[in-house]
Structure 1
């Protein structure tokens, strides 16, 4: 079976978007792991700084930690799409151009 090439912004269904195909599967389970949550959030606090890039990285790490938090409500797809959205905005020069 061959895959048909589709431009990322072609407006096709998300399953046809090559960029979307890079997102992880939602079937993957992330068992609660308090130690992993603690370490990821510690690193997130450590990298948080004055630059927007360090703050973005910190936010991403915090969201990833939610995957392992019993009370966290996120998925790899949500994290991926959020990061992709941030990168698109950054590429366009930010929200306040």
Structure 2
């Protein structure tokens, strides 16, 4: 069974691979990065906070971004 450190590193590695590929890859990378925070003892987050954060990011993106 992988440790929390191993889970966090795998999620962050995949997120790094997805960044800068395209807009969808960037969104998935952001989600993976946030989920990896669940396995980081220095982060104080919950699945609900991650969901709300990602929902907000996707809504802003659908509306044309922050610079519209």
With normalisation by structure 2, the TM-score equals: 0.80
Q: Report the equivalent of 2:17.
A: 46
Structure 1 or 2: more helix by fraction: 2
Structure 2 alignment gaps of length 5 or more? none
With normalisation by structure 1, the TM-score equals: 0.59
**Matched residue SS, 1:95:** coil
Which of 69, 78, 83 is the aligned partner of 2:54? 83
Distance 1:56 1:73 in 2: 21
Higher RCO, Cα 8 Å, sep 6+ = 2
Displacement, 1:50?
A: 4.7
Q: RMSD of the alignment, in Å?
A: 1.6
Structure 1 alignment gaps of length 5 or more? 1-31
Larger CA Rg, structure 1 vs 2: 1
